Amino acid sequence: MQCQSCGMLIMKPEEFSTEANGVRKLDYCKFCYYKGSFTEPEITMAEMAVKLAGPMRINKNITEEQAKETAMDLLKGLKRWQGKTGQ
């Protein structure tokens, strides 16, 4: 399963988000969505890409620009960002 907000692969049941009533929500990880709401409801796709680019850059040994582009491509395919322009 992949988080539909940040693209993180969710490996463990406890990493899934939950609704306010505690029911597990399979679309998102707990870092993006917690107890029924997004942890950062105002974040834009571009800001999320910047957040992802940091660790991605180190893991893949690529430049920050390349990492941001890769992150944007990843985010474009996720449910949370469908129909958003990325601005």
Q: Do β-strands 24-29 and 16-18 pair in parallel, antiparallel, or remain unpaired?
A: antiparallel
Q: End-to-end CA distance of the chain, in Å?
A: 27
Q: Per CB under 5 A, which region of 6-14, 45-53, 56-64, 73-81 contacts Zn ion?
A: 6-14
Nearest to Zn ion of 29, 56 (CB atom): 29
Which one of residues 14, 32, 49, 70 is an interface residue with Zn ion (CB under 5 A)?
A: 32
Q: Minimum Å distance from CB 30 to Zn ion?
A: 8
Element (H, E) at 34: strand 33-34
Binding site for Zn ion (CB under 5 A): 3, 5-6, 8, 29, 32
